[in-house]
Amino acid sequence: MTHPQWHPTCSRLALQLRATMLDSVRKFFCERDYLEVETPLLSTDVVVDAHLHPFTLRGENRTLYLQTSPEAGMKRLLAAGSGSIFQITRSFRRGESGERHNPEFTIIEWYGVESTHIEQMQLTEALVRSVMEHASTFLAQHAQFTQHAQNKQHGSMPCSDHWSAEPFLRVSYDDAFRAVFGINVLNATIPELLNACSVHGISVPHMSSGSHSGFGNDLKDEILNVMMGIAVEPELGLRHPTFIHSYPSTQAALARLDPRNPFTAHRFELYIQGLELCNGYYELTDTEELLQRDVFNNQRRSEQNHDVLPGAPLMMAAMRHGLPDCSGVALGFDRLVMLALGATSIHQVIPFPL
């Protein structure tokens, strides 16, 4: 059946499921004394990332940015004494469209004060299990789901039905690559990485000579990202949800570096059935280091012909005042709904994709 162009791309069941899951998210955090907050979608502040491209609005003698995540505003609240907080909001990223992406999407972001990234992995696992259990209960109560799940445009039954009681797996970034390529990529040279790509039939696009700085070689990270996307990521979390942790220091973003191993950062991601679900950091509090990273990331943006971004001076001022020791996580809610519904496209879980 062909629907008119104005019609939503997802079913009423998907809308009901979203509402159920959002309710369970709020209950989960409220039970743990996290305060729900709201921060602006439009701001003069914008977090600088080499690979995330914000939408801009120009007017009133200034440039505003639709936020790629609520991080800048939430850190201002943390510095003002909010305590542990969470937010369910929209984020916007230019140039991200496809089966798993929409330029406007729903994000759950939270920060645990006096919490480490290890503790946040535990909290993330508890959240995902809780929300998926509520989703499974809801779907089991709707007889129409049996027919819905058998529709070819959807996948199999929700993946949580197959999870064991065993804890989510935790695998270091280096070990994840070693399992596929048989080498230690953190210490590997660029020729060694290119040779591994050749052996595994991975074509590496033409790349610039890269830039060198205190955060490492840009070219090496480009190669690692290709290797991750083509060979490593699709295999992650197929049998059981898997955390990848200890990312290279050159991919730290806003995470602290590991003082015991200068080659790695306190950053993690969760993968379920090859789908990246969240990104977590033991948050950087050193503003001077953050300023250096902003300069480096803007250099990378310029080399790739992207706009140079002004950064987040209000967030910086808040951090100088005193960002509490904390860890934060950003989770893609639409992707979690995809997993619960067994959907193969984000269009099946949001009503009006761009």
What is residue 340's predicted lDDT score, i.e. its pLDDT?
A: 95
Q: The tokens of 69 are what? A: 């995540």
Q: How confident is the model at residue 210 (pLDDT cuts 50, 70, 90)?
A: very low
What are the residues facing 154 on neighbouring strands?
343
What is residue 255's predicted lDDT score, i.e. its pLDDT?
A: 95
Q: Which residues contact 347 (CB under 8 A, 6 or more apart)?
A: 9, 10, 99, 102, 353
Residue 126 located in a structural domain: yes
End-to-end CA distance of the chain: 21
Residue 3 located in a structural domain: no
Distance in angstroms (rounded) separating the CA atoms of residues 297 and 103: 21
Contacts by 19-23, CB closer than 8 A, 24 or more apart: 20/134, 20/135, 20/138, 21/131, 21/134, 21/135, 21/333, 21/336, 21/337, 21/340, 22/88, 22/333, 23/134
Q: How confident is the model at residue 284 (pLDDT cuts 50, 70, 90)?
A: very high
Residue 201 located in a structural domain: yes
Residue 238 has pLDDT above 80, yes or no: yes
Distance in angstroms (rounded) separating the CA atoms of residues 294 and 312: 10
Main-chain dihedrals φ then ψ at residue 108, nearest 5 degrees: -110, 120
CA neighbor of 210 nearest in space, from 194, 199, 197: 194
DSSP assignment of 287-298 equals HHHHHHHHHHHH
Residue 55 located in a structural domain: yes
Distance in angstroms (rounded) separating the CA atoms of residues 40 and 74: 10
Residue 311 has pLDDT above 60, yes or no: yes
Do residues 290 and 323 lie in contact, with contact meaning Cβ atoms separated by under 8 Å?
Answer: no
What is residue 159's predicted lDDT score, i.e. its pLDDT?
A: 56
Of 67-81, 125-139, 158-172, minimum mean pLDDT range: 158-172
What is residue 120's predicted lDDT score, i.e. its pLDDT?
A: 98
- Which carries the bigger pLDDT value, residue 98 or residue 352? 352
Please report, as a single letter, which amino acid is at residue 278. Answer: C
Q: The tokens of 172 are what? A: 């270091």
Of 31-35, 71-75, 154-158, 164-168, minimum mean pLDDT range: 154-158
Work out the average pLDDT over 9-29: 97
What is residue 55's predicted lDDT score, i.e. its pLDDT?
A: 96
Of 60-69, 109-118, 149-158, 276-285, minimum mean pLDDT range: 149-158
Residue 106 has pLDDT above 90, yes or no: yes
What is residue 148's predicted lDDT score, i.e. its pLDDT?
A: 55
Residue 308 has pLDDT above 50, yes or no: yes
Q: How confident is the model at residue 95 (pLDDT cuts 50, 70, 90)?
A: confident
Q: Give the predicted TM-score (pTM) of the model.
A: 0.91
Q: What is the CATH classification number for the domain harbouring 282? A: 3.30.930.10
Residue 271 located in a structural domain: yes
Q: How confident is the model at residue 165 (pLDDT cuts 50, 70, 90)?
A: confident
Work out the average pLDDT over 322-340: 97
Residue 214 has pLDDT above 70, yes or no: no
Q: How confident is the model at residue 237 (pLDDT cuts 50, 70, 90)?
A: very high
Residue 7 located in a structural domain: no
Of 58-62, 73-77, 175-179, minimum mean pLDDT range: 58-62
Residue 311 located in a structural domain: yes
| ∠ CA 133-134-137, rounded to 5° | 85
What is residue 208's predicted lDDT score, i.e. its pLDDT?
A: 43
Pairing type for strands 242-248 and 216-217 reads unpaired
Instruction: Give the other-Cβ count within 10 Å of 326's Cβ.
Output: 23
Look up the domain containing 257 and give its range.
Answer: 12-348
pLDDT in tens, 108-158: 999 999 999 999 999 999 999 999 999 999 999 885 555 555 554 444 445
Residue 336 located in a structural domain: yes
Domain count, the chain: 1
Q: Please report which helix (H) or strand (E) contains residue 1, including its range.
A: none
Work out the average pLDDT over 6-14: 94
Residue found by looking up tokens 């967030």 in the block: 315
Q: How confident is the model at residue 270 (pLDDT cuts 50, 70, 90)?
A: very high
DSSP assignment of 39-71 equals --SEES-----SS----EEEETTEEEEE-SSSH
- Which carries the bigger pLDDT value, residue 207 or residue 186? 186
What is residue 333's predicted lDDT score, i.e. its pLDDT?
A: 98
